[in-house]
Amino acid sequence: MVEVVSPKNILNKHKKRDPWFLDDYSLNPYYLCDFNCIYCYIRGSRYRVKTRNKLAVKINAPTLLEKELSKRSVRREYGFIALSSATEPWMHLEKKYQLTRRCLMIILKYKFPVHCLTKSTLILRDLDILEKIDENAILPEDLRKLKRGVLVTFSLSTLDDKIAEVFEPNAPRPRERLKTLAKIKEKGFKAGIAFIPVLPFISDDEEQLKYMIKIAKEARADYVFVGSLTLYGETKRLYYRVIENYFPELLPKYRQLFGKYEKPNRTYQLRLERRARNLCKKYNMKYKIL
């Protein structure tokens, strides 16, 4: 069941720029997401209180965005807008409602740069607008060295289509995302891959990470991110249920790795970071955008 809602605000201004994705703003045209990824942090994180129980369309998103950006452009408060931090901007519903496309047209009008965070092949529909944003966006002074008004980052937790079907049931399969990335690179965009989250004991070992970095290199990705799984609140219960059903032998390992916390222990996180950086260095792949 999909709700149609009219929120009072649509553009979120961060207290400080995200050091990984470089966004000063985030924009979420929808509540929740119809890709239904099992590990999605929105179900259980602190952001959950700001969302609804049901998938919802923010029908007035373009109107609200126009009001916000018109004011901020006058004040020259330019910065990357992340599409999106808490939903999939090109989910299946977007084919009908076209809120993301309409918001991109507003972003183009006011010359803001945009960072597209997605798992979807539908982004190809909007390359015509993204090309114009890429050419015309005004960057913050300290990010002008990027020389690009559009960044596109595809999210992958595994390169195995069968495993992805378990954890990301309604999202395009990894091979489809990689093909879409290739098409976007052919158009000359700056684009990369966020291997976030890699799945403990499933897609996070040395060989899997090596394969991921090599695939990113072959896909001509400009950069990669690697990040660990987080399991907030209700998400942990749902995720553990899937592990119990499909990988029961891993459940004790997960309980030991996470304990009562939302994140893996510090030792695991440091090891993952070190592996990712070393592999990127080995294969001459840029780790993070800057």
pTM here?
0.95
Residue 51 pLDDT > 50:
no
In a domain, 288, yes or no: no
pLDDT for 50? 46
Tokens 């002008």 sit at which residue? 144
Domain total of the chain: 1
- 211-266: per-residue pLDDT in tens? 999 999 999 999 999 999 999 988 999 999 999 999 999 999 999 999 999 999 99
For 173-182, the pLDDT digits (tens) are: 999 999 999 9
pLDDT digits over 149-206, tens only? 999 999 999 999 999 999 999 999 999 999 999 999 999 999 999 999 999 999 999 9
Q: Residue 54: its pLDDT value, please?
A: 82
Report yes or no on 289 lying in a domain.
no
**What distance in Å separates the CA atoms of residue 218 and residue 220, rounded to the nearest whole number?**
5
Q: What is the CATH number of the domain that holds 75?
A: 3.20.20.70
Across the chain, mean pLDDT equals 95
Domain of residue 251 covers 3-282
Question: What does the chain look like in DSSP terms, one character per residue?
Answer: --EEE--S--EEEPSS--TTT-EEEEE-SEES-TT--TT-GGGTSGGGGGS-SS-EEETTHHHHHHHHHHHHHHTT---EEEE-SSS-TTSTTHHHH-HHHHHHHHHHHTT--EEEEES-GGGGGGHHHHHHHHHHPPPPGGGGGG--SEEEEEE-S-S-HHHHHHHSTTSPPHHHHHHHHHHHHHTT-EEEEEETTPPTTTT-SHHHHHHHHHHHHHTT-S-EEE------THHHHHHHHHHHHH-GGGHHHHHHHHTTSSS--HHHHHHHHHHHHHHHHHTT--BS--
49 pLDDT more than 80: no
